[in-house]
Amino acid sequence: MVSQRIILLILSASSAMAMPYATAFAATEGSYQGLEFYGSSQMSRPELEKLLGLRNGASYRSIKSAMERLHRELKARRLEGNIQAVTGDGTDIYLSVDVLGGYDDMPSRILKEPHQVAYRSEEPVQILEKLHGRLELLEAQGRPANEEWRAGIKYFSDEPCNQMVNDLMRHCGPMREELLYLIDHDPNAVRRATAVELLSWSGEVPDTAYRLLAAVDDVDVTVRTLVTRYLFKNLSLLPDDFAFQDMVEVYSRDLNRPSHDDRSKALYMLLAIVKRRPELIRQVQALDEKRIKFLQERSLVPSIKLACAQFQKLFVRANVGLTDVKPNLDFLPP
């Protein structure tokens, strides 16, 4: 069985991605700059602001308390919500709240004949747990290990981590089909998330990427985020005849999901796809122009607004027949 430690590590993965988009706030300082809320049939903005009780300039401690208070209130009302503190410029913090229900509901993929899928061996799961422990220790010591993707394999700037990577490659390559099967069939989201992460050491990137596209519509946000991280890191390895149009459709759906992580990763994936295949800007425009304009007008988070501004420039050029200009992604954080 997967231990409680690795479950907690995997569940926190969506707010600790190495992928460049604004993520849930993980520091212990900063000041509140505003609420990002797009409305809900379940709760009005004045009601939400009253529950949070935050003013601009409020401390991180106050933000944390407000988030906990809102979580309790939603639970008492039997409502679900995505609540994230998001970093902006410097130590600016924005609170992103999506109260789920009604028009916010988004279709998710249905697992194929759902049933518990057993690994051939639990050893790679145990190695992954040790790897997470090592990374956590390095982070606590103030010397975090950077990721280094080489030919579709995830390495680290830490030799003990890479020794574990070698062990994972030995297991995960032969298990690739089993991992993909588990992601499509197992109802346990933690096991699906574990399998997605283990694919980072399985090789066969183009086929793996294509078969992971359906999991971008997974019901679980952690699974969706880990899949996107894999696709983003390996986008340059995909052949010219890859199903990039299908990828645009997948992330156009993701752009409409009610969570900051989904909005962010969808925007940056779509920008990265257009950078790779500029002619696809027309497809993105047809599917997403209204949504991107809405986000640009309503969002407070700088990274969201900058991404939307990039798209608006591309749309203007596409309108006059220019589809050969690639987006500038220099503004993305490292």
Tokens representing residue 87 in the block: 């970093």
Q: Side chain identity at 22, as an amino acid letter? A: A
In-domain check, residue 239: no
In-domain check, residue 1: no
Domain residues for the domain of 90 are: 31-101
In-domain check, residue 142: no
In-domain check, residue 24: no
More confident residue, 42 or 107: 42
Predicted local distance difference test score (pLDDT) of residue 331: 62
Backbone φ, ψ for residue 208 (5° rounding):
-60, -45
- DSSP reduced 3-state for 60: helix
More confident residue, 320 or 230: 230
Would you tell me how many other CB atoms lie within 10 Å of the CB of residue 229? 21
Average pLDDT over residues 308-329: 86
In-domain check, residue 47: yes
- Condensed to tens digits (0 to 9), the pLDDT of residues 263-292 reads 999 999 999 999 999 999 999 999 999 999
Predicted local distance difference test score (pLDDT) of residue 110: 86
Q: 329 falls in which pLDDT band (50, 70, 90)?
A: confident
More confident residue, 64 or 105: 64
Predicted local distance difference test score (pLDDT) of residue 20: 34
Question: Strand 81-87 to strand 92-99: parallel, antiparallel, or no bridges (unpaired)?
Answer: antiparallel
Q: Side chain identity at 48, as an amino acid letter? A: L
In-domain check, residue 48: yes
- Condensed to tens digits (0 to 9), the pLDDT of residues 7-36 reads 333 333 333 333 333 334 444 578 999 999
Q: State how far the Cα of 165 lies from the Cα of 148, in Å rounded to an integer.
A: 12
In-domain check, residue 67: yes
Q: Which CATH number is 74's domain given?
A: 3.10.20.310
Cα of first residue to Cα of last residue in the chain, in angstroms, is 35
Q: Which residues does 204 contact at the CB level (< 8 Å), separation at least 6?
A: 176
- Condensed to tens digits (0 to 9), the pLDDT of residues 135-152 reads 999 999 999 999 999 999
In-domain check, residue 269: no
Average pLDDT, the chain: 87
pTM of the shown model: 0.85
Q: 105 falls in which pLDDT band (50, 70, 90)?
A: low
Q: State how far the Cα of 21 lies from the Cα of 59, in Å rounded to an integer.
A: 23
- Count of structural domains, the chain: 1
